[in-house]
Structure 1
């Protein structure tokens, strides 16, 4: 490991597993660096933004845009793992990742992430349009520098502010298709932005010990589980009517309205349950149910928006 890497890890107060000898990493390890599960959500929400944009885009341009957004998201994930390798090594959920397990060196992950970042931004900017390229560059910068390097280790609001990076892909895709940013693209971003805190705080409620051991100031660690439950409920109370706003603004149809209302009630009921269940296995079970349902909730919202756009275009 280079002197720079050693010094950086000593400064963070944590240590990495010994570096792997060259040639140990497999293609699967580099795929893992891209955070494929996160990437799949990015691709899906970006696809919705692309399809719902007012201008019809050539299939080749559409594919190029989605590819660049996916690669950019993967690059940000790789750079996140490079910077966070020290805390990943002490968290149960992440200690098996390629860098802390020693299968990929930090230098390899850094080079991989920087190369993919440059490729995705340049190709999107040159082959699609400059606005989309600029928005993708900002998204990568925000996730890696603002969230990963600054917010994640310095404030319990890390997920709230840093969630903007994960919310931007529909806007990037919208800009790729139309060359503009509109109110509907802003609403898509806002839905994901306000969905992120209750989603991740539900996870952090039953992973609080893991975050505390790694020194990450997640809300349950700094403010306690009861305040976290209160914040989850407050954000959910704001999220549910926000998710219905596309109907009120005439940007979504009846099918979306029904899905948003029904799933929103489910999301709210589970948030109330988390607020009420405060001890023992019932509290853990309530948090896990909310975390799992929140993924389904966001998927159904965007899937319905996608279906309505496809049907309208037939």
Structure 2
């Protein structure tokens, strides 16, 4: 076993740090809002990350049933893929249980187990980021035809789906919105929180699959911004900007216009609506301001820009969906 296999990754970014550097004007430093409401200028390594955010946890039969219950809502082929991934984790969990029951303690084994729990999901997300790198670079250069390659489209849609489901704002929003009116609902909500590391990945798979499957019906557009107001991004970079989306409640909307800023000048959107046509669309300043405000409203703490001037007007929008409470819970 190599030394690298024993190294646990502690700092887990739920928004890809390399993606954020597009707002760094050639550096790894960006302007962003802090938890205290200030604006900082620092490395992308400092934001949209938590220690052990993707660390796996032991799953009980209850956790597995909750996972499978959500998975069964997917098409059968996708459900089988979810279960296959789940079984891989359960086999590793079983192997650890056998080791624990043996009573033997081995320092190298302990280090390997810890590293495995810290690194497995982080490495899966890294593989999706690597797969989308070519596409993102091409789109940033307005080369929309990169997605005519079917493999590129598959990789980008899978990456895109996980950009929705892997973030801390999405996690907290979904878990806080779960009903807790009786013992069963409380048990399910607690199981979701415990198993979120797997559920989030599973949901990302499902979203990516659905976006790929519906690609001929949806409008995929590249938004080009040559105005004086640059696009900003956030700690939840893909947001649904369809007019039907509630700004005060975390409820499933009927429609989705998934908007993803790629740089201060370029964004990508997948539309149910007819607002944008497929292909390139040049946007005006009012549209940019509207999209930036919706990015900020669906963020939790950080909005990110290439200058302080770019993010300051949108500070008052930050976390708008997280401000109202109902029965003691954030209803996002």
Q: Which has the higher contact order (CA 8 A, sep 6+)?
A: 2
- TM-score calculated relative to the size of structure 2: 0.25
TM-score in terms of structure 1 length? 0.26
